[in-house]
Every structure is written in structure tokens, then in C-alpha cells.
Structure 1
Amino acid sequence: MRCTLCGGPQVHKSKGYGVISGRSRNRQRVAMGQGPHQCRRVAAQRARRVLRCAGLMALGLWPIMAQAAQPDVAEHQHPHPHAHGRHNAGAHTAHHAGPPAAVEARSSTSVQVNAHRYDYMFQPAQHEPDATTHLTAELLRNRDITTLRGLEHVAPNLTMQSINGTASTNFYLRGSGFNDFTQNNMPTVLTYVDDVAYPYAAMTDGMMFDLASASVTPGPVGTEHGQSTTGGEVHLRTADPTDTWHFGASQDIASYARSRSEAYVSGPLAKGLDFRLAGQTRQGGGWQRDPENGDHLGDADLWALRGKLRWRPDDKTTIQLGGHFVQDNSEVVTPQAVHRIIGSTPLPDYGMGTDAQWSSNSTFDKLIGRRDGLKPSEHNQYWGADVHIVHDFGPVTFTSVSAFETERRGEYTDQDGTARQEADTYRTIDGNVFTQEARLNGSALGGRLNWVVGGYYQRSQMNQRFFFNYTDYAARGYMMSTSFGQNQQSVSEFGHVSYRLPHNVTIWAGLLHELDDRSITGLTSQIFGGATHNFHAESTASNQFAGQVGVSWQFVPNAMLYYKMSKGFKPGGFTANNTQVQAQLDPFHPETVLTYELGFKSDPIPNRLRINGAAFYNDYHNQQVVGTVLIPDYGPLSEITNAPKSESWGFEATLEANPISRLHIMQNIGWQRGDFQNFPNVDRTATNAYYAKHGTWNAIERNFAGVDNGSPKLTLNGEAMWRQPLGKGYRLDFGPDWQYRGSQAIVVGGTGYQRLPSYFLLGAHVTFRPPSGKWEATLYARNILDKRYAESGGMATTTYFYVPGEPRFIGGRVSCGF
């Protein structure tokens, strides 16, 4: 029999948990009522909703809640409570059996009366046993997060840094990560965009627009989808097509003539066929200048388009085609030299301000095929296409994700941070990646048993060429190039199963097997006007397992505990830049880690207070680390190597609170420590000191056992928001935000100038919202105290350098959506 109120089947008195008869895309678990018919509760809930909505209208908040229900809001994009936004709607995962039925019934009908659009979102994720940080699109906009690097401002224990001021990015999550300047190796933290894995993070340049949500998941991961990683993953979810017409645009103008523009249109083309087209442009914003000649550096010049076409031939099948194109000709931030390793030429002292020096050599410009007077800049082009297929067979759901991504890059950097040509570099990359994932998800036993099995394949091809200008470095005095090709493919099979026991206890286990094979070919090192060296090919293969076991306990409806043990692994690879001897091409070994994690999630006062936290311990074997190799009669060079034994430990926590109705506070805290237990390597500092004293190169070896891993020990970020009604439905939202990052070493065992100083940044914004919710206007300030700080750093041939962070930016943004 069907209920006349809700149209669903009548559910009669019973005990325990059950599943509504009949089948929908997501099988909805409900708690069996004690009355004769479950819809009595539904009717009462609807009545409460009507009263609450009336209250919201009276407060002038209804437009805000109405906008929160639009299709581009994160929770609407991911109605299923699993997978941290990684899978399409309708796809079950086996990560967890979900919240107990009674809990799910309560959470699914709660209305956040005093909540803003991104307050206490992702409620189903509160019942997932992980330490994932979930981020809404509005939070990212308010915090001015427009690139991957900005995510460190809104997640704990996360450091994301530019490589030499460029669009290339390095990740450090819970202290796991390394500096891969050549970007030809799999990163420790993998980036996904709409379920598509990007094995080279630079391919995501220009992709952070028209977002629905983002998430950061500490590793190890990989037993439910994609590839195994030791550090974790970052997932970006872009807005999907809608079956009703929507369009919108935004314009952001700020200091230093910076301009950002975005627009989208979405709607139906025919019955069951919807589309979405979105684009962005970025211009200006360059804040560095050369005090010697007044030249200007750092202007953005980027545009990007993304399109999606979704076809629903029936109520069980979804096929979505996607594509994107990015052109980035932006200038980059140039480093500032902070210490001279070799030579006696004085260094400029600009104190991490807006002054900087860079150089250009007409002979070098001609050699690389670029115009005279080239500034440090990008000349990059990315494009890709993907196909998502989801079909609900009833007992199981099938998901297929196919993607092809390309990159064509030309990148010029002045790494020595001076007007001399001592370490000027230009590199070109021509690469492509094909990935294919297929998985089956299912559940049984009334939703108590959940499982997923699948496979993943990846193939990549890459050609790189590095040009180096050493003409002002007396020990070399020449220009040279290194070129190579790299082929890689991997295949993995994974499975994950979870089972909910009585008393709201859930156990789960997962297993992944991955085979990775990669080779480096045709490596040539050429000194122009001198010798050319050809090196023979090298290859490396890994064949390993990863896995996870855990238990969680939902001991009260609004709080849970979990414990898990995870093993992750990451393939080996090659250090390929500036190769001088064959031994530099010896591959480094795969990295493995065994992680123990204990965590909790709680909403002790629903819609008023949320506290989540986790503690972890990582036991690494062959951790991949940037070390040092000494080339006789040449000097020390960086290379990726393995630390046989290392460890890290720490915790992170997130607090959201509404101490009073109009004030919302959010605070992330991350703390971690780690050290090497066994790591023999060249001591670069001692080796450089020996050269300075004796004039000859001699490798000083050292075991770095007991030395700190160099990652920031403490990271903090958060915001406070005051929401002031102005009458007739208008409202003003305003408040500060902040970020702190502790000191970070840029070389193993680094001290003094070999460490990036800690820093604290303060920002603020005020947003005016009309009752219609169709537009809003924002004024904001970033680094409002105009703090001078180093965002990242490194070493070049003759200097250590810091990459300065942005100065104060004051701007405004107007956006509308219909």
C-alpha cells in the first residue's frame, strides 16, 4: 500500500533498522517507527519544517536557505553520504555502512535554522570514519581560494607551495611530501578533479573556478577508487549541469590592477539532456618591481573554459561528457636570494618586500626561442576530456570514468634571484595522461553490508627539456640543456567491504594491488659550445599491496569514534634535471607507510557546536626525500632519494561554533612532528663549507638519524563571521580570517637561512546580501597587516632563495546568479 501523504510504501511497526520497499537510486535507510505507520513521523517533520520556514522568512533568512538548496551547493551535488564527494550521485561505496538508520533519519530531516550556507554542511560526512576536511564553494570564495596553493589556508596540517614561484605545486600533508622540481614523478598527495586523477598537479592550473566543493583527505588512500598514495588526496568537485536554467557571473577587482572574471550558464537542451558551460579570465595583479630599472613583474594572463553535457536516457543511467581548455601566459613571482653559497658578489637585501631582481640574456632568449627581454613567466596550455557513466542495476551500481589530459608547458624562472645569469632556467614539457577506472558498488542485508570492487589503469607519456644559463657563474660560464622522455603505466585492482554490527559498531577492510612500470629514455646533456653526453635508458617497476582495516562506533546519534590502520605505497621514479653522470639516473625506490589513526566526530550541540579531531602515527620505509649528491668537479645537486626509516606523528582538529546566534567561528589546528631514524646522505652545508675553505669539492657524508623532517610543526587557520540583519531581508556579513604556519626547513636538517620563517596572516571581508539572494557584493582585504613573509624556498647553483608571499591586497567582488 502507498501512503497518500508521501507516496511511499507504508512501513508497519517493527524494531531495528529497515529499508523502504521498492528501489530508488540511493536506497534510503529509515528507522522503523513504534507507531502503526512511519508517515506519522514524516507528517510531524513536515509540520515542523513549515513552522521553521515561517521563522526563517520572518528573520529575512529564507533567500539564503533557498540559495543553499540550489544545485551548485556541495551537499546537493553529493546526496550520498559516502566517499567524501568522490563519486557520482547514486553510487554506493563500501568505506562505511553509513550512519545508523536512526541517526540518518534524524540528520536527513534537520533544518539548520540559524545556519549560514556553509555552516555545518556535509552532515552525512559526520558519520564517516576519516579525517577529511570538506569545503564549500562559498567558503573558498570568501577566503579568496582560487588556486590549489590556497587550500593550505583552510585545511589543517596542509602545506601547498609553489615551485620557484610558478604554477607547479608541491604538497605536504601531515608532513608527507617532497619537492619534485621536474614534476615527472607521482606526487605524495594526488589531486582529483571530478573523480579524474591528475598524476601531475600542474595540470590543474586554472581549473579552480565554478566549483561545487573541495575536500582534503589525509592518506593513505586508494582501496575504494583510483591510485594508492601515502600522503592522501585533494579532490575538487566542479558544478554539474542542471535540469532548469541557471546563469551567473562575478567580477573581482583588487590592488595592483588585478582582475578576475567568471561566468556560467546551465540548463536543459532537451528532455534528459542538460549542459553547463563556465569560463574565467585572470589579468594583472603583478606586485614585484625591480628597483634598479622600475620594471614590473607578476601580471596574470590566463583564461579557461569548461563544458559538461549530461544525458539521462532513463532514471537509472547517467552519461556525462566533460572537457576543458586552459591558456596561461602569466608572469610568475621571482625568488629573492637570501644567502650566497658560491662567489663573493653581494646579494640585494629586499627583506621579502615587493622589490626583486631578475635577468634576461638575449643569447639565451634566442636559444630557447622566446622574445628578447623575456620575464619569468609561464607559457602553458592544458586541455582534456572525460566521460562518466553511471548505471544502477539494482543490486549493484556500475561507474566508469575515462579521461585524457594533456599539458604543453614553457616556463622561465630566475632561480638565483639576482640580475646575474647564474641559475636562469627554461623548461618545456609535452605530456599526456590517459586514465580509466571502473567499479561496482553494492549493499545488502538491509544496508548493513556495503562493498566496492574495481580496477584502475593509467598511462602517461612525457618529454621534457631544461635549458640552464650559467654564463655569470665563473666555475661554468656556459649554457646547457638536459632533455629526456618518460613513459609510465600502472594498473591496480581494489576492493573494500564494511559491515554494521549491532550497537552501531561498523568494521571495514580494504585491499589494493598495484603494478607500476616507468622508464626514462633518451636523456641527453648538452653544453652549448662544449661536450654532449648521452645516457642510456633506465627503468623501474613496483608491484605492491596497500590496505586498510578499521572499526567505528556511533555511540550516540551525534558522535562517533573510529580507529584504523592503513598501509599505503607510492611508486619509485627518477631525478632527471641537470644530469651529469649516469648514476644520477638510478631510480629511487617505492615509498611505503603504515599509518595508525584514532579519531572522533561530534556535533555535541547540533547546528551550534561541531568538534572533529584525529591523532596519527606514520611509520615510513624508504620515504622519498630530496637529498644531495655531489658530482666531482661540478658541485652538489639535489636528487630524490630514499630515507630507509623515518616516522611522523601528530593531530588535527576542527571547531565550528555559534556561541551566539549571529556569530559563527571556525578554527582548524594541525600539529605534527617527525624525524629520520636512518638516513645516510651528503651533508650539503658541510660540503659547501669545505669548498669555500679549500676550493675543491669533497662530499661530507652524514647520517641524519634523529634530525627533524623539517615540516611546519604547527598550522592554524580559521575565521569569525558576524551576520547583521539590516531589515527587509537585507544582511551584512563581516569578520576576520587568519592563518599561521610554523617554520619549515628547505633542506634536510636545515637551520638559519635554510628554514622558511614562521608567519601569521590576517584578512577580513564584508558582504552585503539582498533578500532575493540573486546577487551579492563583497569588499575584502588579504594580508591586511602587509606582512613580509616567505611562501616557499629552495636552493639554486649559487644561492639559497625564498619565494616571497603576496603583500596586502584590497579588493571588491560583485556576483550574481539566477
Structure 2
Amino acid sequence: MKRFINGVAMCAILTGVTAAPLYAQETPTKKSEEAGTITVTAQRREQSAQDVGIALSVVSSEELKARGITRINDLQEAVPALQIEPAFGGGQPQFRLRGVGFQDYASNNAPTVGVYVNQIAYPVPIMTQGLIFDVSRVEVLRGPQGTLYGRNTTGGAINFITNQPTDDFHVGSSFEYGRFHAFTGEAYVSGPITDGVTFRVAGAAQMGGAYQHNRDTGESLGDADRIGTRALLKIAPSGTRLTVLLDGHYGRDKSEATGLYLLNSLTQADGAGTIPADTDRFATGWGVSPQLVADTDLKSNSKPGVNNRTWGTSANVSYDFGGVTLASITAYDWLHREQFADWDSSASIEADTYFRSIVKVFAEEVQLRNSNPGPLTWVAGLYYSKQNLDEQYFSDFIDLYGTYARVTYAQKVESISGYGQAEYQIAPRLKATAGLRYEYEKRTLDGFGSAFGGATALPPTTVDTSMKPLTGKVELQYEPSRDLMLYVSASKGVKSGGFTTYNTGSESGISPFAPEKLYAYEAGFKSEPFPWMRFNASAYYYDYRDQQVLSAIWSTTTNSAVGHFVNAPKSRVLGGEVELDLEPVKGLTINQYLGYTEGKYIEFYDLDVAASRAALAAVYTDKSHQAIPFPKLTWGGSVAYEVPAGDYVVTPSASFSYRSKYPSWLGSTYDIGAYFVVNANLTLAPKDERWSVSVWGRNIFNEAYDLTRNFFTSADIAQPARPVSYGVRFGIKY
């Protein structure tokens, strides 16, 4: 209750700073009122989404609220071909887009999908797990991003664009309360300070929501305890061509973990007996050993969860010299992470883990672009980034193996690149785009050391790896009519190489793996055949080289298999998406998407761990032409109908998401079955939209499905998705 009151109080304080009830809309987000145009910044400048020859999805602030999306992981229910899997149920997100993904529960490696907030890259995946709030829109770009963006990626990019300071005074808030005592509150205030200077301050809090329980004690698990704030200051003096946007943000997360349940019975190694497989998917278990208590800030009765803090600041400065604009984007972000997880889902100490991490990222980008309309549009820039990760990783196997493992290391990543892209209107209906990027990156794993049971297994060891990729894109766009745009493109993206930082006593276990490269070939169209219809489609073929795959290598030093990322020399992925937006009658909107992806290895000889152990030598198996495991089909959409009722508008709406079977490379036990989730809302608001009241339901048919399945040592475990939930939401703005 205390945390609930604190969350309400924080949002109320932000709301209450207003002095006069002056009504104004929030910053325009999805569509302009005149033309219904979706504006995006996918190519680092404002354009209509229909003019961009990239397969992309835009999720508006309204859709985020309607679907209850408060964290990045939930975006997979609103975007085709996107998957964000929580490794072992929490902490590290594993991104996959169009089948291009990377499965890793460690913190140090780069993702295949870049995440950006107001053009600032979050290159370490655990940095992306804060609250989503005061967001204008989210742009999800599918396909390699090897030209314009700060971090080179093979899968795509997710861009968060927050609401900006406004010239008129604005204030607003929303509060939501639902099943399991789940509370979410958000508030903002925005307006002028003086001529040419505006500000925006926003905050959010999330509390409660535990839907799991300890199978032995009945104690609940899963309460959220998150807050986030952001302050923006925009300086654009009248009569000048200077624009400065300063950003400061802070987040704190003391949430309990989402627990894991047992897929099969667990015979506890400490002799305490056998725990049957959980028939109740929301049952779980945990325990804390004296060793973890001694090494950390945990207590003997601590629940699995996190204690994370983040803060950051950035300055985006631009000056228009008349035809050419020079921009500088400087950013610094910091994260302190502590996470306790129980991966055996029991009081037995067989797979308990603890991460303590500090992440520091500095980035500087200088960009030059033309700002006058004409047949040629271009942008060029330099990007520099330096990131430091200091991490301790404890694994407690005391009841299973009689040992306790400690891993300590630092990682430094330094990257510098130059890029350029130009678009030229060859003819009134034909446009060509070409871009290049050259990058140098060096990664150093500094002082990686491990110990088992207090004895040194691997003394501090330093290894490094580097890459110098040349990537880019060429594209042709043709408009046979005002309402139809066709495009074809070829592009190349690269994902950094890295290090496997798991428990190991072998130096070969931390040997670097190589970067992966992806050559993408895509064709598509974007159309508006009628004023009430928008219909887009794309098809693609990916030539995947040196795909990074979690497997094992054979250590001749220890004569054993060692968990390690390896590179599959050649793979291919192909598929397509369709997106349809309809407004057949006034007030009725229908949105649908469908995505299909399939992939297979073309050339890949992988270590056969069981056969190698039996032979005491490396034995390989041919996985060529085997399928790459990921869901093939994603389907989703929404429908809403605004019904006038006197001075009010009643809006019933619903959304759904389907995902096909997710086969696991670990075997059929860990396959995640197909699922279909439906959400519903009913909203009442006056025509001036000053306030709104909604009742909502999520997963209204109580679909039972899992978000991840895995095993670490002795237990087969899964993380259950949230069951049916329902609640109310109230919003007000002036």
C-alpha cells in the first residue's frame, strides 16, 4: 500500500503544478489532422511513412495505452515479425526481428535489434528494461540498419520518440488500476518559460500486479515497483536558426521477478525429495543460500527480483546555415543493476544466479544535412561511442554440484564510424537512394576471471576483438500514381562479434566469436488506393553469413565441452509482411498485420556435445538445411468505433495478437505452443477530450501460454504469461 500511495503522489504532484485550466492537445503523434499522414523519422528526418521505402510499423501512444504496453518486451504483441523473449524469465531481453535474433542471458554482447530513445542508442540490452511513458510514437524498422543509425544491426531498429516541449501550456495525467492490485500512473506538464524557451516534465510509476505464488508458502511474487522521470528543455530563440534540446532522465526499478514454474518434476539434490511438475502454471519457488547473502545485499528471505537505477542526459544542438544544417548529439547514460534469479524454481540451491553490473555509455554524433527542398537530399555524419561494463556474475550450485561460482570481468567497447546517404529524384516518379557506412569497433574483455568454491578456475585474462565493416544500402522507388509507391532495395548490416561470459575455467571459453553479416534483398509497395484505406506489403530474402548461434566448443585443455557462441557460416531467411489500415465509415478504424518468416542453415557443422563427451574428443553433426527455430507466423490487429452520444463519445475497441509455435533448439520439451490473445476497451470521453474513463480487459479469454522455456542445470522451467486481467483507467488533460 505504501508503494501504491507513493506512485499516486508522484503523478499527482506533476499534475497539480498547473495554475489555469487551458485546454490544448498533446504533441501531435500519429496523424496530422488535415491529411491523416503518419509522420516518421526513420531516415533521420521527418517524412510521411508512406514515402519511406522501408518496411516499418508505427505504434501510437493511444495504442500503447490501449494494449497496456508499459515495457519494450510487450511491443511484440503490436508489431509483425517481432519477438522479445525474456532470458530465463527476466533481466536480459533477447530481441528477434524477421527471424534475426541472438539468445544470450549475459549482459555484454550487442543485440541484433538497435533500440533508440530520441536518437540516442541503448547498445546494452539490459538498458532497455525501464518504463515506457510520455511517448509520442514507436517506430519499428525491419531489416538491417547499416547506414544511418548509431549502432550497426542485422535485425532492425526500434525508435522511441517522446512527446516534446510545447509552445502552449499543457498538463495531463492518467491513472490505471487493475486485477492483482496493479497500478500505473503517468503525468506531464509542458509549456513556455520565456520567448524561445519551452519545457516538458513527465513521470510515471508502476506498482503491484503479482499474479504468482510460492507453491510451499503461498507468498506472492511479481509485484512491480518502478518509477521513471524525464525533463526536456528546448531553446529555439526567435529570429535565430539555433535549436537546442536538453534531456535529463532517471529511472528506478525494485520490482520482484516474474517466477518460473516446473515443466517436469524436480528431484532435489539436497535430499529434500521430489517436487512434482506444476499443474498450476502460476506456482513457483525460490531460496537464498548463506553464500549469496554474504556476497550480496540479499537477505535470507529475499524474493527474486531487481534493484536497478538508471540516469542519463543528452544535448541535441542544431543550426541551420541556410540550406545546410549542422547538428550535434551528445549523450551519456548510466545503469546500476542488481538482479537475483532462481532458475531451478525451488527452495533447493541448484541454479540461483546474481548479477551486479555497472554500465556507462558515452556517445557523440555530428551530422550535416541539406535543409532546402530539391531533387537531392543528403545527410552525412560521424559517430563515436564508448561503453564500459563492469560485471560480477554469481552462480550458486551448492546443493547440486557442491560449489559456488564467481565470474568477474570488465568490457570496453569503442566505436567510430562515418556515414552518408543521398536521395536523388531521377525523374518525377523515380527516386534513387544510396548510402555507405565505414566503422571501426574494438571490444576488449578485460580481466575475465572465474572461481569455483573459492578456488581460482581461470585467473584474470584479457582478450579483444575488432571489426572494420563497410555496410550500406541502395534503393529504387517508383510511383506509378499518387497513391502507390513501389520500392526495391539491397542492404548490408553487421552485428558485432563478442565474448561468451558464462562460468568457465577454460581460456578457450572466452575466445571471441566473429561478427555476423546480413545481406538483405527486399521489394515492397505502399499504397492508399482509397481515402479510407492504407495497404502496404513487403517481401524479403536474407543471405546470412557467420550467424551467431549459442552452442558449445570442445576444449582440448579440459577435454570437455564448453558453452560458447559459434558462427554458422551460411544461413538464409525469407518472408514477408502485410499491413492494412481501414476507415470505411467515419469513426470506425480497423488495423491488421500479418507476417511470415522462415529460415534454415545452409552450411553449419555444430558440436555434438553428447557424442563428444562419450568419445572424449570433438564430434560434429551436420545441421545444414535444418530450420532456424523461431515462430513463423505473426498476426494481429485492432478495431475501434467512436459512437457519438450527445456531448460525449463512447468508443468500444479490441485488439488481438497471434503467434505460431516457437520450436526450441533444446528439444520439444521447450517448444512454446501457438497462442492467441485478445484485449478489449470501452472508453467514455466528452467531445473536447478533456477527460476520459475506460474499462479494459487484457487476455480476456484467459489464454494460457508461456513467454519462455528453458533449463539451466537440473530443472525444466517456463515463464507463464499474465492471465486474464481487467481494470479501469482515468485520464485528464488541459
TM-score by length of structure 1 reads 0.83
* Aligned equivalent of 1:377: 305
State the distance in 2 between where 1:758 and 1:322 align.
41
State the distance in 2 between where 1:744 and 1:142 align.
26
Written as runs of structure 1 = structure 2, the 5 A alignment for 1:96-111 is none
Q: RMSD of aligned C-alpha atoms? A: 2.5
* Aligned equivalent of 1:765: 681
State the distance in 2 between where 1:419 and 1:136 align.
43
1:130 aligns with 2:54: yes
How has the CA–CA distance of structure 1 residues 362 and 487 changed in structure 2, closer, same or farther, with 3 Å as cutoff?
same
State the distance in 2 between where 1:683 and 1:790 align.
28
State the distance in 1 between where 2:284 and 2:604 align.
36
1:422 aligns with 2:350: yes
State the distance in 2 between where 1:340 and 1:223 align.
50
Equivalent AA in structure 2 for residue 617 of structure 1: Y
State the distance in 2 between where 1:75 and 1:436 align.
31
1:288 aligns with 2:244: no
2:66 counterpart (142, 145, 148): 142
* Aligned equivalent of 2:276: 348
Equivalent AA in structure 2 for residue 813 of structure 1: R
Structure 1: which 5+ runs fail to align? 1-65, 93-97, 99-123
How has the CA–CA distance of structure 1 residues 602 and 785 changed in structure 2, closer, same or farther, with 3 Å as cutoff?
same
Q: 8 Å contact 1:737–1:763 — kept in the other structure?
A: yes
2:520 match: secondary structure: strand
Equivalent AA in structure 1 for residue 652 of structure 2: F
* Aligned equivalent of 2:663: 745
What are the superposed Cα offsets for residues 788-816 of structure 1, whole Å, 9 maximum, x if unpaired?
A: 11112332022332221111111111011
Equivalent AA in structure 1 for residue 502 of structure 2: N
How has the CA–CA distance of structure 1 residues 799 and 201 changed in structure 2, closer, same or farther, with 3 Å as cutoff?
same
Deviation at 1:308, TM superposition (A): 0.7
Written as runs of structure 1 = structure 2, the 5 A alignment for 1:105-184 is 124-184=48-108
Structure 2: which 5+ runs fail to align? 1-21
How has the CA–CA distance of structure 1 residues 456 and 538 changed in structure 2, closer, same or farther, with 3 Å as cutoff?
same
* Aligned equivalent of 1:114: none
State the distance in 2 between where 1:734 and 1:291 align.
39
Equivalent AA in structure 1 for residue 720 of structure 2: P
1:733 aligns with 2:656: no
Aligned length: 707
What are the superposed Cα offsets for residues 453-476 of structure 1, whole Å, 9 maximum, x if unpaired?
A: 101011001111111110121xx2
Deviation at 1:168, TM superposition (A): 2.6
Q: 8 Å contact 1:443–1:449 — kept in the other structure?
A: no
* Aligned equivalent of 2:691: 775
Equivalent AA in structure 1 for residue 375 of structure 2: R
Q: 8 Å contact 1:676–1:704 — kept in the other structure?
A: yes
How has the CA–CA distance of structure 1 residues 201 and 74 changed in structure 2, closer, same or farther, with 3 Å as cutoff?
farther
State the distance in 2 between where 1:621 and 1:222 align.
15
How has the CA–CA distance of structure 1 residues 378 and 811 changed in structure 2, closer, same or farther, with 3 Å as cutoff?
same
State the distance in 2 between where 1:768 and 1:337 align.
43
How has the CA–CA distance of structure 1 residues 242 and 715 changed in structure 2, closer, same or farther, with 3 Å as cutoff?
same
Q: 8 Å contact 1:669–1:717 — kept in the other structure?
A: yes
1:707 match: secondary structure: coil
How has the CA–CA distance of structure 1 residues 341 and 557 changed in structure 2, closer, same or farther, with 3 Å as cutoff?
farther
Equivalent AA in structure 2 for residue 403 of structure 1: A
* Aligned equivalent of 2:340: 412
What are the superposed Cα offsets for residues 664-722 of structure 1, whole Å, 9 maximum, x if unpaired?
A: 211111100000111222235x55xx98xx8x987653121111110100011111222
Equivalent AA in structure 1 for residue 331 of structure 2: A
1:756 match: secondary structure: coil
Equivalent AA in structure 2 for residue 599 of structure 1: G
How has the CA–CA distance of structure 1 residues 523 and 198 changed in structure 2, closer, same or farther, with 3 Å as cutoff?
same
State the distance in 2 between where 1:525 and 1:798 align.
22
Written as runs of structure 1 = structure 2, the 5 A alignment for 1:25-40 is none
1:190 aligns with 2:114: yes
State the distance in 2 between where 1:144 and 1:82 align.
22
What are the superposed Cα offsets for residues 750-773 of structure 1, whole Å, 9 maximum, x if unpaired?
A: 441132222111111111111221
State the distance in 1 between where 2:393 and 2:540 align.
40
Q: 8 Å contact 1:368–1:467 — kept in the other structure?
A: no
1:704 counterpart (623, 637, 660): 623
State the distance in 1 between where 2:38 and 2:27 align.
19
2:62 match: secondary structure: helix
What are the superposed Cα offsets for residues 36-84 of structure 1, whole Å, 9 maximum, x if unpaired?
A: xxxxxxxxxxxxxxxxxxxxxxxxxxxxxx999642424579x999993
1:795 counterpart (701, 711, 716): 711
* Aligned equivalent of 1:613: 537
Where is the strand percentage greater, Structure 1 or Structure 2? 2
How has the CA–CA distance of structure 1 residues 250 and 82 changed in structure 2, closer, same or farther, with 3 Å as cutoff?
closer
What are the superposed Cα offsets for residues 185-227 of structure 1, whole Å, 9 maximum, x if unpaired?
A: 1110010000001101321332410111111001211422322
* Aligned equivalent of 1:220: 144
* Aligned equivalent of 2:528: 603
1:709 match: secondary structure: coil
Q: 8 Å contact 1:227–1:492 — kept in the other structure?
A: no
2:395 counterpart (460, 468, 473): 468
State the distance in 2 between where 1:552 and 1:615 align.
15
Larger C-alpha radius of gyration, 1 or 2? 1
* Aligned equivalent of 1:305: 229
Deviation at 1:557, TM superposition (A): 0.7
Q: 8 Å contact 2:504–2:562 — kept in the other structure?
A: no
State the distance in 2 between where 1:392 and 1:69 align.
28
Deviation at 1:339, TM superposition (A): 4.7
Equivalent AA in structure 2 for residue 671 of structure 1: Y
TM-score by length of structure 2 reads 0.92
Q: 8 Å contact 2:265–2:277 — kept in the other structure?
A: no
Deviation at 1:535, TM superposition (A): 4.0
* Aligned equivalent of 1:204: 128
Deviation at 1:437, TM superposition (A): 0.8
Equivalent AA in structure 2 for residue 294 of structure 1: G
State the distance in 2 between where 1:284 and 1:443 align.
48
Deviation at 1:627, TM superposition (A): 1.6
1:335 aligns with 2:263: no
Equivalent AA in structure 2 for residue 783 of structure 1: N
Q: 8 Å contact 2:659–2:676 — kept in the other structure?
A: yes
2:89 match: secondary structure: coil
Q: 8 Å contact 1:351–1:788 — kept in the other structure?
A: no
State the distance in 2 between where 1:636 and 1:358 align.
29
Equivalent AA in structure 1 for residue 153 of structure 2: T
1:546 aligns with 2:471: yes
What are the superposed Cα offsets for residues 506-528 of structure 1, whole Å, 9 maximum, x if unpaired?
A: 01110000100011011111123
Q: 8 Å contact 2:388–2:413 — kept in the other structure?
A: yes
State the distance in 2 between where 1:673 and 1:472 align.
42
Equivalent AA in structure 2 for residue 455 of structure 1: L
State the distance in 2 between where 1:532 and 1:185 align.
23
* Aligned equivalent of 1:366: 294
1:589 counterpart (496, 508, 514): 514
Equivalent AA in structure 1 for residue 381 of structure 2: G
* Aligned equivalent of 1:57: none
Q: 8 Å contact 1:352–1:788 — kept in the other structure?
A: no
2:575 counterpart (650, 656, 669): 650
State the distance in 2 between where 1:339 and 1:586 align.
35
State the distance in 2 between where 1:131 and 1:415 align.
38
